[in-house]
Structure formats: structure tokens, C-alpha cells
Amino acid sequence: MSQENLIKLECTVCKKTNYYSQKNKKIIKERLQMKKYCRHCKKHTLHKETK
Ligand SMILES: [Zn+2]
């Protein structure tokens, strides 16, 4: 596991980092975004990749 591939997934509503994920930046250029449960918002929100 490389630190370079570690990304954070941030809730677009409350801006809290809720998840950590990995991706190969050499292969995937675009920013990841996915719907996940946010325990701060207490609902499913859109999470975006952040540094
Ligand atoms: Zn949230």
C-alpha cells in the first residue's frame, strides 16, 4: 500500500472527511465522487475526493 494512492472522501454538505480510499492516480485522472452515508448529516450525501 502506497501513501501516494491514498485519497480522502469528503462530504460535500458538511465538508467532513468520512472515508478513506485508494486509487491509482496514474490510471484514474478524474476526481472520484460517490454517494455514501455521512454520520454528520445522518443521511446519504455526495462525497468527493480531496487531498
Ligand atoms: Zn456530511
Domains (range + CATH), the chain: 3-50 (2.20.28.120)
pTM to 2 decimals? 0.81
pLDDT tens for residues 1-51? 567 788 999 999 999 999 999 888 889 888 889 999 999 999 999 999 997
The per-residue pLDDT for 51 is: 77
The per-residue pLDDT for 2 is: 64
What is the Å distance from ligand 1's center to 4 Cα?
A: 25
| CA 14 to mean position of chain CA atoms | 13
Note whether 50 and 11 are within 8 A (CB): no
What is the Å distance from ligand 1's center to 48 Cα?
A: 11
The per-residue pLDDT for 30 is: 87
What is the Å distance from ligand 1's center to 38 Cα?
A: 5
